[in-house]
C-alpha cells in the first residue's frame, strides 16, 4: 500500500511538474483587422479611440515607419484596449512588426507581424492587461520584410 500510494504521489508530482501555465497573453492577445469588422476582447475597433498611428513613408531613398517615437501615457488614459492604426503610404509592400522581444525573451512576449500593400490600412488591438503583461515599457516597431528600413519605438508610461 505504501509503495502504491508513493507511486501515485510521484505520478501526480510528475504530472504537476510537467504541467505549465498558459503562455498565451492573458486577455486574448493581439487582434489585427480593419476598422469595420475588427474587434479585441469583444469590443469592436470602430468603438475604440485610436491611441497611435504609424505610417510607412519614403523620404528620398530612405524608407521608414513614422513617427520614430510614439508615447502613450496610461496614467491619463482609460483602461480600454489599445488600438493602433498602421498605414502603408509607401509605393511597395511593407511589413510592420511590433515587438517587445528586445526587452524580454519569455514565450509570452508581445510580438506581432503584418504585411501591408501600398495604400493599405490595418488596425492592431491589444488588451491593456496583455500589453502590460507581454511587454516592458518600450516596444519596437519596424519593417520585418526589409531589415534596412528605419523603425521606431513605442514608449508606454505606466
Burial of 55: CB neighbours in 10 Å, binned 0-12, 13-18, 19+: middle
Asked whether the beta carbons of 50 and 77 are under 8 A apart, the reply is no
Domains by residue range for the chain, with CATH: 26-157 (2.60.40.420)
Rounded to whole angstroms, the Cα distance separating 30 from 154 reads 16
Q: How far is CA 61 from CA 5, 64, 114, 116, 149, in A?
A: 72, 10, 23, 19, 10
Asked whether the beta carbons of 155 and 71 are under 8 A apart, the reply is yes
> Cell 469590443 appears where?
43
- What pLDDT is recorded for position 136? 72
Cα torsion at 126, 127, 128, 130 (round to 10°)? -90
Copy the grid coordinates of residue 104: 524580454
- What pLDDT is recorded for position 128? 87
Q: Is the pTM of this model over 0.75?
A: yes
- What pLDDT is recorded for position 93? 96
Q: How far is CA 115 from CA 74, 112, 150, in A?
A: 28, 11, 16
Please measure the distance between the N-terminal and C-terminal CA atoms of the chain and give it in whole angstroms.
56
Give, for all 158 residues of the chain, the pLDDT tens digit.
444 444 433 343 433 343 333 334 554 578 999 999 999 989 999 999 999 999 999 999 999 999 999 999 999 887 889 999 999 999 999 999 998 866 555 666 788 999 999 999 999 999 988 877 766 788 999 999 998 999 999 999 98
- What pLDDT is recorded for position 105? 59
Amino acid at each position: 500500500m505504501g509503495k502504491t500510494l508513493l507511486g501515485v504521489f510521484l505520478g501526480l508530482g510528475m504530472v504537476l511538474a510537467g504541467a505549465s501555465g498558459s503562455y498565451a497573453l492573458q486577455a486574448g492577445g493581439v487582434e489585427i483587422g480593419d476598422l469595420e469588422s475588427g474587434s479585441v476582447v469583444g469590443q469592436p475597433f470602430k468603438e475604440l479611440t485610436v491611441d497611435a498611428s504609424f505610417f510607412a513613408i519614403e523620404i528620398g531613398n530612405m524608407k521608414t515607419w513614422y513617427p520614430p517615437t510614439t508615447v502613450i501615457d496610461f496614467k491619463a488614459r482609460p483602461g480600454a484596449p489599445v488600438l493602433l492604426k498602421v498605414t502603408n503610404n509607401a509605393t511597395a509592400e511593407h511589413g510592420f512588426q511590433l515587438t517587445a522581444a528586445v526587452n524580454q525573451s519569455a514565450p509570452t512576449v508581445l510580438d506581432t507581424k503584418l504585411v501591408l500593400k501600398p495604400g493599405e490600412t490595418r488596425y492592431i488591438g491589444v488588451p491593456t492587461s496583455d500589453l502590460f503583461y507581454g511587454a516592458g515599457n518600450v516596444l519596437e516597431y519596424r519593417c520585418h520584410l526589409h531589415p534596412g528600413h528605419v523603425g521606431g519605438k513605442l514608449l508606454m508610461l505606466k
